Structure 1
Amino acid sequence: RLGSEVTVIEAMENFLFMADKQIARDVLKEFSNQGLNIKLGCNLTDAKSTAKKVNVTYQSSEGEQKDSFDKLIVAVGRRPNSEDIIGSELGIEIDEKGFIKVDDFCQTSVKTIWAVGDVVRGPMLAHKGSEEGIMVAERIAGKKAQMEYELVPSVIYTHPEVAWVGKNEQELKEEGIDYKSGSFPFAASGRALAADDAVGFVKVLADKANDTILGVHAFGPAAAEIVQQGVIAMEFGSSAEDLGMTIFSHPTVSEALHEAAMSVNNQAIHIGNKRK
C-alpha cells in the first residue's frame, strides 16, 4: 500500500495457522489483493547481503528458488531468553525449551522467586506479561489475584487488523464441543462503508447447550477494539444473547459484534439469518 513490492516466504502450508480457518482464508485473499506475494510451504535455506541487495535461496514444492530483495526482515518466532540469568545453585527448574517452570500464579520452584512474561509458558505477548506482573505483585501483597489464560486476546496489527480471543472452530471440533456460530460482514456496516473500510467480518462462537460465548474473532476495521469487547463479555461469562441484548451506539463498527452475537441465535437484523 506504500509502494513497496512485498514477498512473504512462509514455511507453514497454512496461512495464519493459529487463527480461525475462515478468518485466515479471507485475510490471505485480502492481502493478496493488496499485492503481497505470499509463498506458503517454503523454507529459506540461505541469505547473503551485498552492497545493495539481499540474495535469498529457498525451497518450495517446485524445488530450489532464488530471489533478490532490497531488504530482508527475519520473523521466524521467538524463544525465551533465560540463559545465564539464574544461578544453578538456586535449583529453579527450566524446561528443555528454556522456559522457567512456574505454577498457575507464576511462582517458581523456589517459593520466594516468581517469573513472568516471555520466559514462562503462554503466549509471548506484552499484555499477558504485564498482567502477570500485576498478578504477582498482588499475590505478594497477600491478595488473591489470578489470571484467566484462556482469555488472552491476540492481535495482528496489519490493515485490516486481525484479532481473536478464546476458541476457534477447529479447536472446538477437536475438543468435541458442540457449538453454534454467527457472523456479520463489515460490508453491511454503515460506519465501515462510510469510512470506505468494509473488508472482513466478525464471528462469535457460543456453546450450543447454554449459549455461553466461547470465542470472538474479527478481521477488519478496529478488529482489536471489537475483540476487546468480547474479552470483557467472556470474562463475565456472558452468553451470545447477553451481547445481543446490549445497546450498541449507532453508527459504529462495534455494531458488527452486536449483529454477529444476534446471528448466533438466528436473530440478526441487518443480514439474513440461517434457515433452521
Structure 2
Amino acid sequence: MKEISCKLLVIGAGPGGYVCAIRAGQFGIDTVIVEFGKPGGTCLNVGCIPSKALIHAAEEFEKIAHMAGGKGPLGIAVAPPTLDLTKTVAWKDGIVSRLNSGVAGLLKKAKVKTVQGWATFRDGKTVEVETETGSQVIRAEAVVIASGSVPAELPFLPFGGPVISSTEALALSEVPDKLAVVGGGYIGLELGMAFAKMGAKVAVVEALPRVLAQYDAELTRPVLKRLGELGIEVMLGAKAKGLSTKGDALLVETADGKNAKVAADKVLVTVGRKPLTEGWGLEQIDLDMVGRFIRIDDQCRTSMRGIYAIGDVTGEPMLAHRAMAQGEMVAEIVAGHKRGWDKRAIPAICFTDPELVTAGLSPDEAKALAGEIKIGHFPFAANGRAMTKQGEDGFVRIVARADNHLVLGIQAVGQGVSELAAAFGLALEMGARLEDIAGTIHAHPTQGEGFQEAALKALGHALHV
C-alpha cells in the first residue's frame, strides 16, 4: 500500500476544494487533493455551468420560435425552428470538458498533487484512498473536507426510470413532451422554464403556498407572470405522492385535499440538496454536526483541531462562490495568515426568466435588525437599455438604514440582472451608503443605471421616475 505525506489534504475538487488547493499551492504549501469524479465538482459538471448552457440554448430557441411568422415586434421573420437536443447537450459537454481541463491545469500549475479516487478517514490526520491502481494512504498536517452535496431524493419518488434529478435533466437526448417538476425552488423553476421554452408542457408541483419561497413576493412577481406566459401550470399547496401504476403520471394531492394525476413523460424532482457526508468514514473522527451538516466556526474550523470544512457540506447558502471564498480563506489560514470571512455580502442569483439577484438583507430582515429603514425602488420600465432589450418587467431595490443611510441589502429582478451581482456585492463589502452609490457615475445606457436611480429614489430625488 502506497503512502504519501503532505502539509494540506483537500478532499473534493469542487469549487471550494480546488480553489483552496490552488491558493495553498501558490503559498508553496505541499498540497494533495483527492477527487473521485472530474475536477470542478457538481457546479462545473452537473450544476451551475451546464444548466446555464441549457438555459441559454432554450432562450435562443424561444426567441427564434417567437419570430416565426413575423410575430415579434422587431420586424424579424424566420421559418419555424427545430431543436436537436443531442447537439445542444454535446455543445454543453464541450464547455464542461474545456473547463475540466482548465481546472486540472491550474492545479498542476500550482504544484498540487491530484489523487483520483474515494477517500475514507482512518483518523483525523490520515485517509485511505481507493484508486484504480490500489489503495493509497495519505497523511496530512491539516485536512479540508470539501465533499459537496447531492440531489435530495424523495422516498416515494426514488430516482430511476421516468423520475430524474437535475443531473439527468441536463443529459436528456430529447425534450419530453410532458414534464412534471416536483419542487418550486430555484432549480425546479430554472430547468422547468428552460424545458417549457424548448417545447415541453410543464407542470410545477409545490407544497408551499408559493414558489421561490426564499424570496419576497414583490421580487418574484415578474417571474410568476412569465410562468403564465410560458404556459407552465403551477400547483401550489400540492403534495406529490408517487408515480401512477403505468409510470406515465405523477400522483398529486391538491391544496383542497383531492387526488389528481399530472401526465408526465419525465418527473424532475428538485426538492433541495443534501450534504455528501456518507462513505467518507466521518464516524472515525467524530465531528460535531448541525443536523446533516458539519459544524464550523467563522474560520471554517470543525470541532477537531487541524480539520476544516467548506462549501455545501457545511450548510446554507449552498453556493459555489461561497465555497470558493471559504476555500481561499482556509488556505491562507493554513499558510499562517490572519483571515476572517463574512457571508453578509454574498450575492445569490436565481437564473429564472427574468433573473433574480439578492445581496444582504431583505426589507423585512433589515427592519428587524435596524428599525427604521429607507427603500429605493427603480423600475426597468423607466430604463432605456432594458426597453431596447424588451426587458422592462423588473426593478432594482435598495434597502438602507434611515439614520446613516448605510446600505443593508440590494435586490433586483429583470432580464440579465445577474451581471449586476458584482456591483451589489461590492457595495455591501465596502460598506457603501446611499450617497456613495448615487454619487457614482453609471454608464448610459445600461441597466446598471437602475442601481444608481434606486439609491437616488431612497434619498428622495430620483431623476428618471
Q: Same fold (TM over 0.5)?
A: yes
Which residue of 265, 271, 283 corresponds with 1:76? 271
Tell me, yes or no, if structure 1 residue 25 matches structure 2 residue 233. no
Provide structure 1 residue ranges, at least 5 long, that are not aligned to the other structure: 272-276
**In 1, Cα distance between equivalents of 2:422 and 2:202:** 30
Map of 2:199 onto structure 1: 3
Map of 2:441 onto structure 1: 247
Map of 2:288 onto structure 1: 93
CA offset at residue 220 of structure 1? 0.4
Q: Which amino acid aligns with 1:100?
A: I
Q: Which amino acid aligns with 2:287?
A: I
Tell me, yes or no, if structure 1 residue 113 matches structure 2 residue 326. no
Asked whether the 8 Å contact 2:366–2:409 carries over to 1, the reply is no
Pair 49,142 (structure 1): closer, same or farther in 2 beyond 3 Å: farther
Tell me, yes or no, if structure 1 residue 223 matches structure 2 residue 414. no
**In 1, Cα distance between equivalents of 2:226 and 2:254:** 23
Provide the secondary structure at the position in 1 that maps to 2:210.
coil
Provide the secondary structure at the position in 1 that maps to 2:241.
strand
Q: Which amino acid aligns with 1:217?
A: Q
- Map Cα deviations across residues 16-59 of structure 1 (whole Å, 9 max, x no partner): 22113210233212322332211111110112485xx6311111
Asked whether the 8 Å contact 2:223–2:352 carries over to 1, the reply is no
CA offset at residue 151 of structure 1? 1.5
Which residue of 20, 45, 48 corresponds with 2:241? 45
Asked whether the 8 Å contact 2:354–2:414 carries over to 1, the reply is yes
Provide the secondary structure at the position in 2 that maps to 1:111.
coil
- Map Cα deviations across residues 118-170 of structure 1 (whole Å, 9 max, x no partner): 11033111111111111100111111222211122111112211111111122
- Map Cα deviations across residues 92-137 of structure 1 (whole Å, 9 max, x no partner): 2223x21111111111111111110111033111111111111100
Of 210-219 and 19-28, the range deviating more from structure 2: 19-28
Of 126-135 and 79-88, the range deviating more from structure 2: 79-88
Q: Which amino acid aligns with 1:38?
A: V
Provide the secondary structure at the position in 2 that maps to 1:84.
coil
**Pairs within 5 Å for 1:258-269:** 258-269=452-463
Asked whether the 8 Å contact 1:21–1:170 carries over to 2, the reply is no
**In 1, Cα distance between equivalents of 2:367 and 2:209:** 21
Q: Number of aligned pairs?
A: 268
**In 1, Cα distance between equivalents of 2:244 and 2:340:** 47
Asked whether the 8 Å contact 1:9–1:44 carries over to 2, the reply is yes
Pair 91,70 (structure 1): closer, same or farther in 2 beyond 3 Å: closer
Bigger fraction of residues in strand: 2
Provide the secondary structure at the position in 1 that maps to 2:199.
coil
**In 1, Cα distance between equivalents of 2:325 and 2:302:** 17
CA offset at residue 175 of structure 1? 4.1
Asked whether the 8 Å contact 2:379–2:396 carries over to 1, the reply is yes
Provide structure 2 residue ranges, at least 5 long, that are not aligned to the other structure: 1-196
CA offset at residue 81 of structure 1? 1.2
Q: TM-score, normalised by structure 1?
A: 0.91
Rg comparison, structure with higher value? 2
**In 1, Cα distance between equivalents of 2:300 and 2:343:** 12
**In 2, Cα distance between equivalents of 1:241 and 1:190:** 23
Of 225-234 and 245-254, the range deviating more from structure 2: 225-234
Question: CA RMSD of the aligned region, Å?
Answer: 1.7
Map of 1:274 onto structure 2: none
Stretches of 4+ moved more than 4 A in 1?
Answer: none
Bigger fraction of residues in helix: 2
Tell me, yes or no, if structure 1 residue 149 matches structure 2 residue 338. no
**Pairs within 5 Å for 1:112-261:** 112-175=306-369, 177-261=371-455
**In 2, Cα distance between equivalents of 1:36 and 1:173:** 35
Tell me, yes or no, if structure 1 residue 64 matches structure 2 residue 259. yes
Larger RCO (alpha carbons 8 Å, 6+ apart):
2
**In 1, Cα distance between equivalents of 2:225 and 2:388:** 23
